[in-house]
Amino acid sequence: MNYARTALLLAAMTGLFLAIGFLIGGEAGMLVALAIALAMNLFAYWNSDKMVLRMYGAQEADRATAPGLYGIVEQLADRAGLPMPKVYVIENDQPNAFATGRDPAHAAVAATTGLLGRLSSEEIAGVMAHELAHIKNRDTLTMTITATIAGAIGMLANFTFLFGNNSRDSNGNPNPLGMVGAVLVMILAPVAAMLVQMAISRSREYEADRMGAEISGRPLWLASALDKLERGAQAIANPEAEQNPATAHLFIINPLHGGSMDNLFSSHPSTDHRIQRLRQMAGAKGPWG
């Protein structure tokens, strides 16, 4: 059901993008929009992982420089039937982590120094299992595509305001939008794209929690980690994420301050809800820690 929902949401976002192109320039505008989307997605497919790792100053780690983290990822990747991903450490006091890469053979996991310093080895294993689940489900590629299309929708919406009022379709007919319509498209289209992007992200987080718990075999490891990560993210700022909010959905916990509410505008589900689901998986009835 989650995969079908994700596919439908992706189709809706793509349809919105093409519709804006049609409003700007009719069939020709729609074809141009499609060409832009393909070009942007091809670029993101090959370069998004390098860009985000560079953005956060991630340093590659190995068995010598980060033996604990590397060993945990190696063991979990073997359990998940995945190739060993590259492992990175980010010098950042906020406890957080993310995965990136276009497919399991070209994947990477990254953890902040704040996470490594505040979590137990079991909790780190829970987090890394979650990130490996994203890789196994190819969520890293899905989220790259949605982020790219969402950005392109914002760009096209601005073009609608600048050029849509005076443009004509392929048959020479004037654009039906008019100035008021162009303004509405400029405002509403990016909001609609953001809502779809957030819906996809939230759905994939729940699925990665479930599969990550299966990979580690201990749902409460991840549940305990999420509790600590949530409190840490609320107390400690992540300047790089604040400067690049479009990457917030990559992290296991929303790195942006004030964005953790479980509503339409959050990139992540409620952490309390995620913990409750994990406790149900474990069949836990009493306290955990």
Question: Which residues are designated catalytic?
Answer: 131
Query: Does residue 155 contact residue 33 with C-beta atoms inside 8 Å?
Result: no
Q: Reading across the β-sheet that carries 107-112, which strands appear in turn?
A: 59-61, 86-90, 107-112, 97-101
Distance (Å) of CA 273 to CA 11, 32, 39, 223, 226: 27, 42, 38, 10, 11
The amino acid at 18: L
| Residue 74 CB coordination number (10 Å) | 15
Single out the residue of 74, 85, 69, 62 nearest to residue 121, CA to CA. Answer: 69
Could you tell me whether strands 59-61 and 86-90 are parallel, antiparallel, or unpaired per DSSP bridges?
Answer: antiparallel
* Total count of residues recorded for the chain: 289
**Sequential DSSP letters for 225-263:** HHHHHHHHHHHS--HHHHH-GGGGGGBSS--STT--SSS
Instruction: Return the structure tokens found at 66.
Output: 């980060």
Instruction: Return the structure tokens found at 133.
Output: 């689940």
The separation between CA 187 and the C-alpha centre of its own chain, rounded to angstroms, equals: 23
Burial-class residue 20 by CB neighbours within 10 Å (0-12, 13-18, 19+). Answer: buried
Residues 109 and 69: their CA atoms lie apart, in Å, by 10
Single out the residue of 6, 1, 4 nearest to residue 198, CA to CA. Answer: 6
Instruction: Return the structure tokens found at 192.
Output: 């609609």
